Amino acid sequence: MEIAIAGLAGCQAVANIRRGIQLRPSTRDRLVPPSLPIVETFHSLQGEGLHAGRSAFFIRLAGCTVGCPWCDTKHSWPASAHPLRPLNKLVGEARDAAAAGAAFVVITGGEPLHHDLDGLCTALRQASHSEGGKGADGGLPAGQAQQTGLPLPLPLHLETSGVDPLSGQFDWITLSPKRHRPPPTSCWRPASQLAGGGWRPPASSP
């Protein structure tokens, strides 16, 4: 696992935590939502961080209680103001975006970890593996698709403030902690490996 710091404006110190991180054990017996409240989905270029400029499919989940005064997505705060979208519909949209050139999926918000993301991540990964990414590779089986060097399955990225325990499995996590709601160390212990400047979890936190 590789951890790097990338600076962002304001109070945001961002830790990009790379590759296959799962910070709590899988909880198969938990209820996994079949749908999630969605503010918007869109295919665009990543605008910040080490992946800036790369083509990505964004899923902006609704709901945030962190309450940053400078927030530029306050419309995302009330989850109930946004319609639920089934996971299979989100998977279909991600597949279409992959066919159009998206290199990865970004799950953002709002605060996406207010929701259990196990189901969404599993659905996105299973679809990539089982359907071979229709469009981008002409519908080849996953094994063949990977042999051709096509970008399957799409890597999953998460953008979070870290106020909630991690759910889901991600290839890249952008942690943007807030001073007024710091992430609990128990949830983000790997961030203690951060080097250089920026946010670090307090050593005495639970």
Q: Which residues would be at the binding site for ligand SF4 (CB under 6 A)?
A: 64, 66-68, 71, 73, 76, 109-111, 161
In this structure, what token pair is assigned to residue 165? 């325990």
Q: Which is nearer to ligand SF4, 49 or 153 (CB)?
A: 49
Burial of residue 67, with CB atoms counted within 10 A of its CB: 0-12 exposed, 13-18 middle, 19 or more buried: exposed
Count CA atoms closer than 13 A to 169's CA, side-chain side: 12
Q: Which is nearer to ligand SF4, 73 or 185 (CB)?
A: 73
- Cα–Cα distances (Å) from 198 to 4, 131, 186, in that order, read 10, 41, 19
CB of 142 to ligand SF4, least distance (A): 34
Q: Which is nearer to ligand SF4, 68 or 87 (CB)?
A: 68
**Rounded-to-integer distance, Cα 138 and Cα 116, Å:** 32
Sign of CA dihedral 18, 4, 52, 90: positive
CB of 82 to ligand SF4, least distance (A): 13
Q: Which is nearer to ligand SF4, 128 or 176 (CB)?
A: 176
CB of 133 to ligand SF4, least distance (A): 30
CB of 108 to ligand SF4, least distance (A): 9
**Rounded-to-integer distance, Cα 35 and Cα 56, Å:** 21
